Protein backbone atom coordinates (compact mmCIF):
# COMPACT_ATOMS: atom_id res chain seq x y z
CA UNK A 1 0.00 0.00 0.00
CA UNK A 2 1.40 3.37 -1.06
CA UNK A 3 0.21 6.52 0.72
CA UNK A 4 1.33 10.14 0.81
CA UNK A 5 1.45 11.58 4.36
CA UNK A 6 0.83 15.28 3.96
CA UNK A 7 2.09 18.18 6.05
CA UNK A 8 -0.01 20.74 7.93
CA UNK A 9 0.04 24.43 8.66
CA UNK A 10 -0.74 26.10 11.97
CA UNK A 11 -2.94 29.17 11.65
CA UNK A 12 -2.21 30.89 14.94
CA UNK A 13 -0.70 29.23 18.00
CA UNK A 14 -1.29 30.43 21.55
CA UNK A 15 0.78 29.04 24.42
CA UNK A 16 -1.64 29.77 27.23
CA UNK A 17 -0.29 28.06 30.37
CA UNK A 18 1.97 25.33 31.70
CA UNK A 19 -0.03 22.24 32.65
CA UNK A 20 0.52 20.13 35.79
CA UNK A 21 1.46 17.18 33.56
CA UNK A 22 4.40 19.13 32.11
CA UNK A 23 2.72 19.92 28.79
CA UNK A 24 1.36 23.32 27.79
CA UNK A 25 -2.23 24.42 27.31
CA UNK A 26 -2.57 25.43 23.66
CA UNK A 27 -4.98 27.01 21.24
CA UNK A 28 -4.14 26.59 17.57
CA UNK A 29 -5.65 25.49 14.29
CA UNK A 30 -4.45 22.88 11.84
CA UNK A 31 -5.11 22.86 8.11
CA UNK A 32 -3.77 20.24 5.70
CA UNK A 33 -0.94 21.24 3.38
CA UNK A 34 -0.69 19.38 0.04
CA UNK A 35 3.01 18.67 0.34
CA UNK A 36 3.79 15.11 1.28
CA UNK A 37 6.18 12.27 2.03
CA UNK A 38 5.66 8.86 0.42
CA UNK A 39 5.10 5.79 2.59
CA UNK A 40 4.88 2.24 1.30
CA UNK A 41 3.73 -0.51 3.67
CA UNK A 42 3.75 -4.16 2.59
CA UNK A 43 3.51 -7.50 4.35
CA UNK A 44 6.98 -8.97 4.66
CA UNK A 45 7.83 -11.56 2.01
CA UNK A 46 7.96 -15.21 3.05
CA UNK A 47 6.46 -14.30 6.46
CA UNK A 48 9.75 -12.78 7.65
CA UNK A 49 9.60 -12.25 11.42
CA UNK A 50 10.79 -8.64 11.73
CA UNK A 51 9.31 -5.34 10.63
CA UNK A 52 11.79 -3.24 8.67
CA UNK A 53 11.97 0.41 7.66
CA UNK A 54 14.00 1.82 4.77
CA UNK A 55 14.52 5.58 4.62
CA UNK A 56 15.28 7.69 1.56
CA UNK A 57 14.99 11.38 0.74
CA UNK A 58 15.69 14.02 3.36
CA UNK A 59 17.81 12.92 6.33
CA UNK A 60 15.89 11.74 9.39
CA UNK A 61 17.92 12.23 12.58
CA UNK A 62 17.99 9.72 15.42
CA UNK A 63 18.17 5.96 15.67
CA UNK A 64 15.95 4.04 13.28
CA UNK A 65 14.13 2.38 16.19
CA UNK A 66 12.83 5.77 17.33
CA UNK A 67 11.03 6.45 14.03
CA UNK A 68 7.33 7.06 14.64
CA UNK A 69 6.31 4.62 11.90
CA UNK A 70 7.98 1.78 13.79
CA UNK A 71 6.53 3.05 17.06
CA UNK A 72 3.08 2.95 15.45
CA UNK A 73 3.64 -0.69 14.53
CA UNK A 74 4.86 -1.49 18.07
CA UNK A 75 1.70 0.04 19.61
CA UNK A 76 -0.52 -2.17 17.49
CA UNK A 77 1.65 -5.24 18.00
CA UNK A 78 1.30 -4.91 21.77
CA UNK A 79 -2.49 -5.21 21.46
CA UNK A 80 -2.53 -7.60 18.49
CA UNK A 81 0.26 -10.14 19.18
CA UNK A 82 -0.52 -12.04 15.97
CA UNK A 83 0.05 -8.92 13.84
CA UNK A 84 2.30 -9.96 10.94
CA UNK A 85 5.56 -8.16 10.30
CA UNK A 86 5.63 -5.41 7.71
CA UNK A 87 8.10 -3.92 5.29
CA UNK A 88 8.11 -0.11 5.24
CA UNK A 89 9.76 2.36 2.90
CA UNK A 90 9.52 6.04 3.85
CA UNK A 91 10.69 8.67 1.38
CA UNK A 92 11.04 11.95 3.28
CA UNK A 93 10.15 15.18 1.52
CA UNK A 94 8.83 17.28 4.42
CA UNK A 95 11.81 18.41 6.52
CA UNK A 96 12.18 17.49 10.18
CA UNK A 97 12.03 20.33 12.72
CA UNK A 98 9.99 22.56 10.43
CA UNK A 99 6.73 22.79 12.39
CA UNK A 100 4.83 21.07 9.57
CA UNK A 101 3.97 17.83 11.37
CA UNK A 102 5.79 15.55 8.95
CA UNK A 103 6.69 12.87 11.49
CA UNK A 104 3.20 12.83 12.97
CA UNK A 105 1.67 12.49 9.52
CA UNK A 106 3.95 9.53 8.74
CA UNK A 107 2.84 7.80 11.96
CA UNK A 108 -0.87 8.43 11.32
CA UNK A 109 -0.69 7.11 7.76
CA UNK A 110 1.29 4.09 8.98
CA UNK A 111 -1.42 3.29 11.53
CA UNK A 112 -4.10 3.50 8.90
CA UNK A 113 -2.06 1.35 6.49
CA UNK A 114 -1.52 -1.38 9.11
CA UNK A 115 -5.23 -1.32 9.90
CA UNK A 116 -6.19 -1.72 6.24
CA UNK A 117 -3.53 -4.24 5.17
CA UNK A 118 -3.94 -6.57 8.13
CA UNK A 119 -7.71 -6.22 8.51
CA UNK A 120 -7.66 -5.03 12.13
CA UNK A 121 -11.05 -3.33 11.66
CA UNK A 122 -10.21 -0.51 14.03
CA UNK A 123 -12.79 2.26 13.99
CA UNK A 124 -11.66 5.86 13.38
CA UNK A 125 -11.98 6.68 17.10
CA UNK A 126 -9.78 3.70 17.99
CA UNK A 127 -7.12 4.74 15.47
CA UNK A 128 -7.23 8.25 16.91
CA UNK A 129 -6.55 6.87 20.39
CA UNK A 130 -3.41 5.13 19.13
CA UNK A 131 -2.38 8.25 17.21
CA UNK A 132 -2.59 10.48 20.29
CA UNK A 133 -0.10 8.18 22.05
CA UNK A 134 2.41 8.96 19.30
CA UNK A 135 2.05 12.74 19.17
CA UNK A 136 -0.35 15.51 20.11
CA UNK A 137 -1.10 16.44 16.50
CA UNK A 138 -0.90 12.91 15.10
CA UNK A 139 -4.64 12.18 15.12
CA UNK A 140 -5.30 15.27 12.99
CA UNK A 141 -3.84 13.51 9.95
CA UNK A 142 -6.38 10.69 10.11
CA UNK A 143 -9.19 13.03 9.02
CA UNK A 144 -7.16 15.87 7.44
CA UNK A 145 -9.81 18.55 7.77
CA UNK A 146 -9.40 21.98 9.42
CA UNK A 147 -9.70 21.86 13.20
CA UNK A 148 -9.32 24.08 16.22
CA UNK A 149 -6.92 22.26 18.55
CA UNK A 150 -6.90 22.85 22.31
CA UNK A 151 -5.62 21.04 25.40
CA UNK A 152 -2.05 20.02 24.65
CA UNK A 153 -2.94 20.25 20.98
CA UNK A 154 -4.78 16.93 20.82
CA UNK A 155 -8.40 17.97 21.44
CA UNK A 156 -10.04 18.83 18.13
CA UNK A 157 -13.16 20.74 17.15
CA UNK A 158 -14.26 21.11 13.53
CA UNK A 159 -13.37 24.52 12.12
CA UNK A 160 -15.61 25.91 9.36
CA UNK A 161 -12.65 27.25 7.42
CA UNK A 162 -12.46 26.76 3.66
CA UNK A 163 -9.10 27.76 2.20
CA UNK A 164 -9.31 25.53 -0.86
CA UNK A 165 -7.80 27.31 -3.85
CA UNK A 166 -5.80 29.71 -1.67
CA UNK A 167 -2.28 30.28 -3.08
CA UNK A 168 0.48 29.53 -0.60
CA UNK A 169 4.25 29.63 -0.33
CA UNK A 170 6.17 27.68 2.33
CA UNK A 171 9.79 28.60 2.98
CA UNK A 172 12.08 26.35 4.98
CA UNK A 173 15.27 28.27 5.86
CA UNK A 174 17.44 25.17 6.08
CA UNK A 175 17.56 24.97 9.88
CA UNK A 176 15.63 22.70 12.21
CA UNK A 177 14.16 23.85 15.53
CA UNK A 178 13.38 21.18 18.07
CA UNK A 179 10.04 21.39 19.84
CA UNK A 180 11.80 21.15 23.20
CA UNK A 181 13.99 24.17 22.43
CA UNK A 182 11.01 26.20 21.23
CA UNK A 183 9.06 25.56 24.44
CA UNK A 184 12.07 26.45 26.58
CA UNK A 185 12.09 29.89 25.01
CA UNK A 186 8.37 30.69 25.09
CA UNK A 187 6.51 32.48 27.88
CA UNK A 188 2.90 31.34 28.34
CA UNK A 189 0.28 34.09 28.21
CA UNK A 190 -3.43 34.56 27.66
CA UNK A 191 -4.28 35.31 24.00
CA UNK A 192 -5.50 38.75 23.00
CA UNK A 193 -7.97 37.43 20.43
CA UNK A 194 -10.19 34.38 20.12
CA UNK A 195 -8.60 32.31 17.38
CA UNK A 196 -11.90 30.81 16.29
CA UNK A 197 -13.44 34.27 15.97
CA UNK A 198 -10.55 35.83 14.05
CA UNK A 199 -10.26 32.90 11.63
CA UNK A 200 -13.94 33.34 10.77
CA UNK A 201 -13.10 36.76 9.36
CA UNK A 202 -11.60 37.46 5.90
CA UNK A 203 -7.98 36.52 5.24
CA UNK A 204 -7.09 40.17 4.70
CA UNK A 205 -7.86 40.89 8.38
CA UNK A 206 -5.60 38.20 9.88
CA UNK A 207 -2.31 40.09 9.81
CA UNK A 208 -1.32 41.07 13.35
CA UNK A 209 -4.33 39.26 14.82
CA UNK A 210 -3.66 35.60 14.03
CA UNK A 211 -0.51 35.19 16.11
CA UNK A 212 1.97 32.39 16.69
CA UNK A 213 3.53 32.91 20.14
CA UNK A 214 6.68 31.05 19.11
CA UNK A 215 7.63 33.84 16.68
CA UNK A 216 8.50 36.35 19.39
CA UNK A 217 10.11 33.69 21.56
CA UNK A 218 12.41 32.42 18.80
CA UNK A 219 13.23 35.78 17.21
CA UNK A 220 16.46 36.48 19.17
CA UNK A 221 17.99 33.11 18.29
CA UNK A 222 16.58 32.80 14.76
CA UNK A 223 16.29 36.26 13.13
CA UNK A 224 15.92 34.54 9.75
CA UNK A 225 12.30 33.70 10.63
CA UNK A 226 11.26 37.36 10.77
CA UNK A 227 13.30 38.10 7.65
CA UNK A 228 11.49 35.44 5.62
CA UNK A 229 8.10 36.58 6.94
CA UNK A 230 8.82 40.16 5.91
CA UNK A 231 9.91 39.02 2.46
CA UNK A 232 6.62 37.17 2.00
CA UNK A 233 4.66 40.27 2.93
CA UNK A 234 6.79 42.34 0.57
CA UNK A 235 5.92 39.86 -2.18
CA UNK A 236 2.21 40.46 -1.65
CA UNK A 237 1.11 37.84 0.88
CA UNK A 238 -2.15 38.69 2.66
CA UNK A 239 -0.98 36.74 5.70
CA UNK A 240 2.34 35.21 6.75
CA UNK A 241 3.36 33.27 9.83
CA UNK A 242 5.60 30.71 11.40
CA UNK A 243 4.06 27.23 11.36
CA UNK A 244 4.05 25.33 14.64
CA UNK A 245 7.31 25.76 16.51
CA UNK A 246 9.17 26.40 13.25
CA UNK A 247 11.30 26.69 11.32
CA UNK A 248 9.03 26.83 8.24
CA UNK A 249 7.40 30.18 7.46
CA UNK A 250 4.44 30.40 5.09
CA UNK A 251 2.50 33.03 3.24
CA UNK A 252 -1.10 32.97 2.01
CA UNK A 253 -2.37 35.05 -0.90
CA UNK A 254 -5.94 35.99 -1.75
CA UNK A 255 -7.79 33.52 -3.98
CA UNK A 256 -7.17 34.28 -7.63
CA UNK A 257 -3.85 36.01 -6.97
CA UNK A 258 -0.85 35.03 -9.06
CA UNK A 259 2.12 33.97 -6.98
CA UNK A 260 5.19 36.07 -7.72
CA UNK A 261 8.45 34.37 -8.71
CA UNK A 262 10.23 33.73 -5.41
CA UNK A 263 13.61 32.19 -4.75
CA UNK A 264 15.98 31.92 -1.83
CA UNK A 265 19.59 30.74 -1.75
CA UNK A 266 20.62 27.23 -0.67
CA UNK A 267 20.05 25.66 1.85
CA UNK A 268 16.59 27.26 1.78
CA UNK A 269 13.80 25.27 0.19
CA UNK A 270 10.56 26.72 -1.20
CA UNK A 271 7.25 25.04 -2.01
CA UNK A 272 4.20 26.75 -3.48
CA UNK A 273 0.80 25.90 -4.89
CA UNK A 274 -2.87 25.99 -3.94
CA UNK A 275 -4.36 24.72 -0.69
Q: Where are the domains of the chain?
A: 2-157, 162-274
- Just list the catalytic residues: 8, 137
Is 105 labeled as ligand-binding? yes
Task: Name the percent of the chain lying above pLDDT 90.
Answer: 85
Given a cut of 90, is residue 63 above it in pLDDT?
yes
CATH 3.30.70.890 for domain 162-274, yes or no, is yes
Average pLDDT for 231-240: 97
Predicted pLDDT at 68: 97
pLDDT in tens, 176-187: 898 889 999 999
Q: Is 148 in contact with 27 (CB distance < 8 Å)? A: yes
Is 84 labeled as ligand-binding? no
Given a cut of 90, is residue 35 above it in pLDDT?
yes
Predicted pLDDT at 115: 98
Question: Exposure of 86 by Cβ count < 10 A (0-12 exposed, 13-18 middle, 19+ buried)?
Answer: buried
Residue 186: left (phi > 0), alpha (psi -120 to 50), or beta? Answer: beta
Given a cut of 90, is residue 2 above it in pLDDT?
yes
- What DSSP character marks residue 47? G
pLDDT in tens, 193-203: 889 999 999 99
Q: Hey, what CATH topology would domain 2-157 get?
A: Ribosomal Protein S5; domain 2 (3.30.230)
Average pLDDT for 33-40: 96
Predicted pLDDT at 47: 73
Is 113 labeled as ligand-binding? no
* Mean of the per-residue pLDDT values of the chain: 95
Domains 2-157 and 162-274 share a fold: no
Q: 102-117 and 124-134 are packed helices; what angle lies between their axes, rounded to 10 degrees?
A: 140
Given a cut of 80, is residue 93 above it in pLDDT?
yes
Is 104 labeled as ligand-binding? yes
Answering whether pTM is above 0.85, one says yes
Which residues, including other chains, have CB under 8 Å from residue 138's CB and lie 6 or more apart? 68, 104, 105, 107, 108, 131, 132
Of 45-54, 151-160, 165-174, the poorest mean pLDDT is in 45-54
Predicted pLDDT at 216: 93
Predicted pLDDT at 48: 77
Is 139 labeled as ligand-binding? no
Question: Residue 40: which of 104, 92, 107, 90 has the closest Cα?
Answer: 90
pLDDT in tens, 260-269: 888 888 889 8
Amino acid sequence: MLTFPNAKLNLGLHIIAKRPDGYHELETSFVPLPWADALEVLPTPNAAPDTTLALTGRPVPGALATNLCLKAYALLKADFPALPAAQLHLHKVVPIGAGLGGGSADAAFALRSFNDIFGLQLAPAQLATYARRLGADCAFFLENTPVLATGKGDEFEPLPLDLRGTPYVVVWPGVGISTAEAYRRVRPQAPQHSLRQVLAEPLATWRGRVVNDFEEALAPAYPVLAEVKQQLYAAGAAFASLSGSGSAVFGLWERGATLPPLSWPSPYAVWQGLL
